[in-house]
Structure 1
Amino acid sequence: MSVLTQRLSLTGILVAIASPLVAQQGYQQPPANVAQILDAPARPQILTSPDKSLLVLLDRPGLPSIATISEPEYRLAGIRLNPRTSGPSRQNPSRGMRVMPMRGGEAQPIAMQLPAGGGISYPSWSPNGKLVAFVVSTDDALTLWVADPTARTARQLSARKLNAVLGAPCSWMTDAALVCTTIPANRGAEPTAPSVPSGPIVQEALSGRADRVATYQDLLKSPHDEALFEHYATSQLVRFSLDGQATNIGAAAMLSDVSPSPDGQWILVTSLARPFSYSVPLNYFPTTIAVWRPDGSVARTLASRPLIERVPWGGDAAQVGPRNPSWRADVPATLTWLEALDGGDPTREAAKRDRLLALDAPFAGEARTLLETEWRARGVTWARADLAIAREGQSRQRKARVWVFDPSGRTAPRMLWERSSEDRYGDPGNFLTTRNALGQNVLRFTPDGRSVFLVGAGASDEGDRPFIDRYELATGRSERLFRSTAPYYESVVDVLDPRGTELLTSRESQTEPANFWIRNLVRRIAPIQVTKFEDPAPAFANVRREVVRYTRRDGVQLQATVYLPPNYDKARDGAIPFLLWAYPLEFGSAEAASQVTGSPYRFTRPGGSSHLFALLQGYGVMDDPTMPIVAMDGKESNDTYVEQLTASAQAAVDKIVEMGVADRNRIAVGGHSYGAFMTANLLAHTSLFRAGIARSGAYNRTLTPFGFQGEERSYWQAPDLYERMSPFTYADKIKTPILLIHGMADNNTGTYPIQSERMFAALKGNGGTARYIQLPAESHGYAARESVGHTLFEMLNWLDQYVKPQRPRM
């Protein structure tokens, strides 16, 4: 070895020794007042009985442990499954079931002998509304159970193991039977990975054919992955009767969707087949849609679709051939589906985009067209033989229409309204449905059959004020039955009587947690409280909050919710350190972007890794300051992304400083996902902030080259835009301290962990101040108690280190 080489080698050793090393100390806990809230159980899940007489409460535990989140998991074809249970991984099911009368009374437990560690999931009412089917999960199996809420009893219907790899495993077929996907009796052991590769992995692109795909996660990567997916996705369909009998239906297959007809005499079955793809997830694999008889024989094959690797692109793109098959809800057995009339290409000139077709049992002959739409069809609410509601829309133009039409074809369709889909103030609401004699959800009418009910958020300059209207279909006349009034935020959950005079609502205020109430609109009596859930985090009882409005320099109206820590006194405490937490949104107009969102009367308590926990450590929080990216002057929204983003941030900072509550020199900015992208951009292009917190973000848009968020242009169509919007491009400009946090198992499209890994390397390589936290086993959102606690520990420590001290910025 030469002297020079020896010197260089020694220099490398000295540099390595001199480099800062971070001790790996395991999971850390946030302050005790934060940890106490994290350890509380979650609010129960509530099911309302179809006859409106009972509430079923499913008791949910608190955050799962890292051991639960780290259980065995296969990530295949866009899904994540637990090979021990043949169900989805990362589950945290309910642990008990209680029932209470709708008109008041204590909740009583439903007696059941759950196996040790058993959890409850997938609850569903029987068509007649008397029983609740549910799935019990253990460490190695999923099984079917049934509860009688009136008798407060539950029992296991069968010990046969269910398969929930491709979705909910069970559906009611009749009041006396369910159909479920189960593990085939002959499935055997899972395929073993070869010790020696059988050959290279080959993918191919065809000349002249543009197969644009998003940056999907968890795709198949090898022949062994293919074998594992087929092994676990294959199910045997079984009919379980309430007397415990189990009958196989058809042959085992990769059943991705199973839906019995309303009369229980037919089964709509969607199944997958080879060849698989390494470029797209399972919903693009070869698919067969067929109607089965109860014995498993095929009555009609609706579609047999090959592998799709040429994925339709854009918000209004659609697959070719039958899509969205479903049963018509108001009749015993009529199959309906949509078909694109423009080849699924929204850029193609076409007088009509979609058509809705129907085919009656026994599914012979040709389907009939019920409706054709000028825009892309969005869905149908069925009502009766001569009436249904259809929706259509245009994504890029942000337009929506609603039609009333006659499925029998005797009268022409009639438009109820056309509106801007982003105009919250003008939203007439959603149609209320009810269960019919077939156990299906259909449009709810008044007793005279002429009017229906519309329920909406009631957005206004005062904030959201939920409402319910009676709407006459023939004339379009609307009568407001109820609207939430201050100091409450009260939304309609259901209508308890045919005339719409008695409502079940969810009511809350700034100081009262959300509970169910019964409100009579005719009798002048006080509303009756049904549930009595208490404040899960009383430490926040003295937090002050205010919805504020302010103006961006281009005239766009903005808003935010400003929180001040418990017992804050402006005269005593003055201007304090603040955290801004935001998420940008795209709009087609300044008018829509300026509309007020949310309500000043919500009961707000943090959970999980919420940024609002900073309030307990003496910080103010400006929550969700609107960061609209508006299409202006004939340009696309993102053409001026950086300029609009920085202008919104400047206006937000100016507002809280003007209020006298924030110290301009001690303000941090943070966000999750696209909010993390925003955070890094603001640190690159402004000097407004003392520090940043960016969680699970994407920072280099060239790694999402075929679009992101609402951006439909590819990198090759707008390379300057992609580079200009990427904070990675400006990593050398980011000198403000930034904390990066990312789940190591992130499965969100576009936010691969490599995004944070390379951003940290760029910051470090350019002399920036950064800390990079990788959370083992965590996905895009953080679930485990240990991970959530450590995330809050890091966030609060970062703020304490770089924001709270009264010293000049770095």
Structure 2
Amino acid sequence: MNTKSTFVYVAAGLLSLLTLNQTVAQEAVYQRPPAVIEEVVMAPLSPANRISKNNQWILQLERSYYTSLGRLAQPELKLAGMRINPVTFNVSRGSEYTDPSLLHIPTQRRVTVTGLPDGATIVGSSFSPSDTRVLLFVEEAAGIYLYSFTTEEPQAVRLSDRRLNATTGVTVQWLDDEQFLTLLVPTSATNPPAAPAVPVGPIIQETSGGREAVRTYQDLLKNPYDEALFDYYFTAQLAHWTGTAMKEIGRPAIYATMQLSPDKNLLLYAVVERPYSYQLTMGSFPRRTAVMNLDGKDVKELARTPLLNLPTGYDMTSPYPRSFSWRPDKPATIYWVEAQDGGNPRINKVDFMDIVYQSAAPFDQPKQEVARTVKRFRGILWHDDQFALMHETSRAENRTWMYRIKPASGEKPQLITELALNDRYNDPGSPVMVRNQYGRYILYTNKAKNELLMTSEGASSEGDMPLLSRFNLKDKKNTILWRSEAPYYETILEVTDPAKLTLITSRQSNTEPANLFLRDVKRKRTTQITHFAHPYPAMEGVSQEKIFYKRADGIDMSATVYLPAGYNKEKDGRLPVLMWAYPREYRSAEEAGQIRGSQYTFTSINYGSPVFWALRGYCVMAEVEMPIVGTSEEKEPNDNFLEQLRLNAEAAVKVITDRGVGDPDRVAVGGHSYGAFMTANLLAHTDLFKAGIARSGAYNRTLTPFGFQAETRTYWEAPEVYHTMSPFTYANQLKGAILLIHGEMDNNSGTFPIQSERYYQALKGHGATARYVVLPYESHGYSAKENVLHMLYETDAWLEKYVKNASK
């Protein structure tokens, strides 16, 4: 581990930087926040629920938000935008589960799964086609292995001693209840490539005049040795579990995608090929797309795509055939999309941007046109040759369209809906899908094919109220069949029987955590399936209210306000305020003003939540709307970023002050990532805040010169926007005290740790009040228990010193 000049590691593994009259690199041990915060952040979570396709079983997996620092410190390779554990051939920072059990939905009988190694870490799971068997992907010391059990005999058994290759995620393609395809570590992978003792030569990159704007990716390949490591760890052997053994199929390759045909006879796949790039991630590498049979022999090569770097701008896409997939309603028919504008609508103006084609096995006939789109193709939901729904979008026009089509008929598509991209109020929802004879999902509709069942978040001026509706394709009317009602927020997880209108829902309220229910809409009956208790006793009594207000230009705003238990504003007076937000761009005031979220949700708390400080005597404003709105067709939202940010903040401070709850002289603002960027800008351009908490942010937009967030213009196209939006530019006018926190190994595009390091140095040079905390081994989000507790300690101490106890 290299020692850096600006900070040092100590045995506990944490560095803090403090600005005094001079910079002091402090040797520090891990600290813990106040006990009431630690109690809440470390509270056990309810299990993760995996519902079987027949809606009879729930696989429940125990989980935690956090891992140990020791686990984060395990070997890790950063290659082509991916992070992997080289010992286990697994992604290094994926979700982890333990202690599986089965819950039988009709009887609510719970059965513990046995047979796994002690302390087994589960990284994936899958039900078989008939839902009678379950696969578990279990990480052990030497790698990932497959375990299997049945719903009748929940005794897990390891299927093979062959290790899986999960460097791009766990993979399983079921043939039947006993057979499946997966990816293994090749038997040839015995020793990784040895690092060269000395370089064989310089690293050279060259450009010859073609424009290749690249966003700021991290974890890229850097040299030939990285290329060799990438080949070694990402190369996988396709294998067929026959019921008794693993049978290898074909030669090892780097698989990017893999889809079994509905009739289970063919495999559509794409493999990554050389040459690789030192500026782009694995997703942009050259690839070959083809179809093979289950003996490993290619039946048809479909496309070869070279190294692909899309230009910046709205609606850009690949100029090569893309989005290959099987039609779910046919035995073995592939469909794909071909751009007619070369993937660049800015340069090439055409009547139709995309054409969708299809080809059926054995792929010996000319490709057949399915449909064409005026704007950019987004996707198809299939039913049969007579009926499908096709979506297209235009980010440039901020619109989305849904059409009814008769695939491959040549008939003109029938427009069903047209919406602004962020128009949630008028969105009819998502069609209900059902499994067909191939076990694939197709549209559920009536015999006349003129009605759909739809599920929706039910966005409204009163907040989200999820619903089930019947949508008539002829008159385009949406008839509500069921809707979540106060004081609950109830979402639809599964429509178990569309004809009988039975559902599995997840219901919560301000005081009740989310639990699963069976709901019979026709009979108006509900049965509770799970019974998870309130996980945070310390939070009982903390009040929660969604408030609505307007900013000065009339745009509707909202926030969720949390107040300490027992608080009485007449007796207790005004409270210090912590405001937490994340800016979002909109193309119109109407979209920006729509209410998001629900006032009836249970407060689920993770490390990033600001709600802890309601336990410490603060008024907490969470989910504070920070819309950045395009003020005209000629103006992009960011053209007025600072002015709109100021309007948002002023409106939020005013409403909490006018309610007699918040003390306007003791307000802090905070956020993560783009929220941290917002925080630094608000401290530079307003005098509303005593302090700011900025986690894992970017502060100098010239370090992301080819776009960021929803900004598609480059620095050279809009230099004033990049300059003006960068809080680094205004480090000399920061007001208040800012706490900068950053993960040492942040992998997010644009938020390199150098963003915080350089911003801190700029603040230090101008005499600002700032503190810079680096969390060892952490990525863009934080996961080690030790780091999370220390981050909360730092935040609490900062707020206590510079906000709650600040002089007015």
Alignment-derived partner of residue 334 in structure 1 = 333
Question: Quick check: 1:180–1:237 contact (8 Å CA) kept in 2?
Answer: yes
Q: Does 1:71 align with 2:70?
A: no
Alignment-derived partner of residue 492 in structure 1 = 492
Secondary structure of 1:158's partner?
coil
Secondary structure of 1:153's partner?
coil
Measured after TM superposition, the shift of residue 410 of structure 1 is 6.8
Aligned match for 1:25, one of 5, 14, 28: 28
Q: Kindly tell me: are residues 768 and 411 of structure 1, through their superposed partners in 2, closer, same or farther at Cα, counting changes over 3 Å?
A: same
Alignment-derived partner of residue 697 in structure 2 = 697
Letter in structure 2 aligned against 1:103? P
Question: Quick check: 1:38–1:63 contact (8 Å CA) kept in 2?
Answer: no
Question: Quick check: 1:104–1:529 contact (8 Å CA) kept in 2?
Answer: no
Alignment-derived partner of residue 567 in structure 1 = 566
Alignment-derived partner of residue 406 in structure 2 = 406
Alignment-derived partner of residue 146 in structure 2 = 144
Alignment-derived partner of residue 685 in structure 1 = 685
Secondary structure of 1:762's partner?
helix
TM-superposition CA deviations, 1:408-437 (whole Å, max 9, x none):
527442221111111111111011112223
TM-superposition CA deviations, 1:203-253 (whole Å, max 9, x none):
01112x110110001100111111100110111111012x22211111111
> How do 1:315-330 and structure 2 match up within 5 A?
315-330=314-329
Question: Quick check: 1:335–1:360 contact (8 Å CA) kept in 2?
Answer: yes
Measured after TM superposition, the shift of residue 104 of structure 1 is 4.3
Letter in structure 1 aligned against 2:238? L
Alignment-derived partner of residue 82 in structure 1 = 85
Question: Quick check: 2:144–2:164 contact (8 Å CA) kept in 1?
Answer: yes
Measured after TM superposition, the shift of residue 448 of structure 1 is 7.0
Alignment-derived partner of residue 729 in structure 2 = 729
Letter in structure 2 aligned against 1:127? P
Letter in structure 1 aligned against 2:696? S
Q: Kindly tell me: are residues 288 and 454 of structure 1, through their superposed partners in 2, closer, same or farther at Cα, counting changes over 3 Å?
A: same
Give me the whole-angstrom Cα distance separating, in 2, the residues matched to 1:77 and 1:448: 50
Measured after TM superposition, the shift of residue 609 of structure 1 is 3.1
> How do 1:591-740 and structure 2 match up within 5 A?
591-633=590-632, 634-740=634-740
Decide which moves more: 54-63 or 275-284: 54-63
Q: Kindly tell me: are residues 718 and 61 of structure 1, through their superposed partners in 2, closer, same or farther at Cα, counting changes over 3 Å?
A: closer
Give me the whole-angstrom Cα distance separating, in 2, the residues matched to 1:711 and 1:92: 31
Unaligned stretches of 5+ residues in structure 2: 1-18
Secondary structure of 2:259's partner?
strand
Alignment-derived partner of residue 241 in structure 2 = 240
TM normalised by structure 2 equals 0.95
TM-superposition CA deviations, 1:693-725 (whole Å, max 9, x none):
100000000000011111111111111111111
> How do 1:52-67 and structure 2 match up within 5 A?
52-67=55-70
Q: Does 1:219 align with 2:217?
A: no
Q: Does 1:375 align with 2:348?
A: no
Measured after TM superposition, the shift of residue 94 of structure 1 is 1.1
Measured after TM superposition, the shift of residue 35 of structure 1 is 1.5
TM-superposition CA deviations, 1:298-331 (whole Å, max 9, x none):
10111112222x4232341111111111111112
TM normalised by structure 1 equals 0.95
Measured after TM superposition, the shift of residue 450 of structure 1 is 4.7
Q: Does 1:772 align with 2:768?
A: no
Decide which moves more: 70-79 or 605-614: 605-614
Measured after TM superposition, the shift of residue 620 of structure 1 is 1.0
Q: Kindly tell me: are residues 685 and 477 of structure 1, through their superposed partners in 2, closer, same or farther at Cα, counting changes over 3 Å?
A: closer
Letter in structure 2 aligned against 1:261? S
Question: Quick check: 2:313–2:713 contact (8 Å CA) kept in 1?
Answer: no
Question: Quick check: 1:515–1:530 contact (8 Å CA) kept in 2?
Answer: yes
Question: Quick check: 1:128–1:437 contact (8 Å CA) kept in 2?
Answer: no
Measured after TM superposition, the shift of residue 758 of structure 1 is 0.2
Letter in structure 1 aligned against 2:161? A
Letter in structure 2 aligned against 1:154? A
Letter in structure 2 aligned against 1:220? L
Secondary structure of 1:516's partner?
strand
Give me the whole-angstrom Cα distance separating, in 1, the residues matched to 2:450 and 2:53: 23
Secondary structure of 1:198's partner?
coil
Letter in structure 1 aligned against 2:35? A
Secondary structure of 1:253's partner?
coil
TM-superposition CA deviations, 1:326-357 (whole Å, max 9, x none):
11111221111111111000212111111111
Q: Kindly tell me: are residues 599 and 163 of structure 1, through their superposed partners in 2, closer, same or farther at Cα, counting changes over 3 Å?
A: same
Alignment-derived partner of residue 7 in structure 1 = none
Give me the whole-angstrom Cα distance separating, in 1, the residues matched to 2:689 and 2:182: 55
The Cα RMSD (Å) is 1.7
Alignment-derived partner of residue 9 in structure 1 = none
Letter in structure 2 aligned against 1:184? P
Q: Does 1:99 align with 2:98?
A: no
Measured after TM superposition, the shift of residue 38 of structure 1 is 2.7
Measured after TM superposition, the shift of residue 126 of structure 1 is 1.9
Alignment-derived partner of residue 350 in structure 1 = 350
Question: Quick check: 2:312–2:707 contact (8 Å CA) kept in 1?
Answer: no
Alignment-derived partner of residue 115 in structure 1 = 117
Give me the whole-angstrom Cα distance separating, in 2, the residues matched to 1:437 and 1:616: 54
Alignment-derived partner of residue 362 in structure 1 = 362
Question: Quick check: 1:178–1:240 contact (8 Å CA) kept in 2?
Answer: yes
Alignment-derived partner of residue 785 in structure 1 = 785
Q: How many residues align?
A: 788
Aligned match for 1:161, one of 150, 160, 163: 163
Secondary structure of 1:269's partner?
strand
Question: Quick check: 1:447–1:499 contact (8 Å CA) kept in 2?
Answer: no
Measured after TM superposition, the shift of residue 519 of structure 1 is 1.8
Question: Quick check: 2:744–2:777 contact (8 Å CA) kept in 1?
Answer: yes
Alignment-derived partner of residue 8 in structure 1 = none
TM-superposition CA deviations, 1:501-545 (whole Å, max 9, x none):
3222111111111111122222254x2111111111121121111
Give me the whole-angstrom Cα distance separating, in 2, the residues matched to 1:485 and 1:394: 35
Give me the whole-angstrom Cα distance separating, in 1, the residues matched to 2:388 and 2:738: 53
Question: Quick check: 2:351–2:374 contact (8 Å CA) kept in 1?
Answer: yes
Decide which moves more: 138-147 or 776-785: 138-147
Give me the whole-angstrom Cα distance separating, in 2, the residues matched to 1:384 and 1:147: 36
Secondary structure of 1:274's partner?
coil
Q: Kindly tell me: are residues 330 and 129 of structure 1, through their superposed partners in 2, closer, same or farther at Cα, counting changes over 3 Å?
A: farther
Decide which moves more: 749-758 or 605-614: 605-614
Give me the whole-angstrom Cα distance separating, in 1, the residues matched to 2:769 and 2:541: 35
Letter in structure 2 aligned against 1:28? Q
Alignment-derived partner of residue 3 in structure 1 = none
Measured after TM superposition, the shift of residue 43 of structure 1 is 2.2
Question: Quick check: 1:315–1:396 contact (8 Å CA) kept in 2?
Answer: yes
Identity fraction in percent: 42
Question: Quick check: 1:167–1:256 contact (8 Å CA) kept in 2?
Answer: no
Secondary structure of 1:100's partner?
strand
Question: Quick check: 1:356–1:372 contact (8 Å CA) kept in 2?
Answer: yes
Question: Quick check: 1:127–1:440 contact (8 Å CA) kept in 2?
Answer: no
Alignment-derived partner of residue 11 in structure 1 = none
Secondary structure of 2:26's partner?
coil
Decide which moves more: 701-710 or 320-329: 320-329
Give me the whole-angstrom Cα distance separating, in 2, the residues matched to 1:318 and 1:743: 32
Letter in structure 2 aligned against 1:382? W
Decide which moves more: 568-577 or 658-667: 568-577
Question: Quick check: 2:369–2:408 contact (8 Å CA) kept in 1?
Answer: no
> How do 1:402-551 and structure 2 match up within 5 A?
402-409=402-409, 411-446=411-446, 450-525=450-525, 527-551=526-550
Alignment-derived partner of residue 393 in structure 2 = 393
Letter in structure 1 aligned against 2:30? Y
Question: Quick check: 1:312–1:319 contact (8 Å CA) kept in 2?
Answer: no
Give me the whole-angstrom Cα distance separating, in 1, the residues matched to 2:545 and 2:755: 36
Q: Kindly tell me: are residues 354 and 736 of structure 1, through their superposed partners in 2, closer, same or farther at Cα, counting changes over 3 Å?
A: same
Alignment-derived partner of residue 47 in structure 2 = 44
> How do 1:751-770 and structure 2 match up within 5 A?
751-770=751-770
Measured after TM superposition, the shift of residue 134 of structure 1 is 2.5
Alignment-derived partner of residue 575 in structure 2 = 576
TM-superposition CA deviations, 1:665-713 (whole Å, max 9, x none):
1100111000000000000011000001100000000000011111111
TM-superposition CA deviations, 1:562-608 (whole Å, max 9, x none):
11112212122110101010111111111111111111111113112
Letter in structure 2 aligned against 1:221? K
Letter in structure 1 aligned against 2:278? Y
Secondary structure of 2:250's partner?
strand
Alignment-derived partner of residue 186 in structure 1 = 188
Secondary structure of 2:651's partner?
helix
Measured after TM superposition, the shift of residue 26 of structure 1 is 2.1
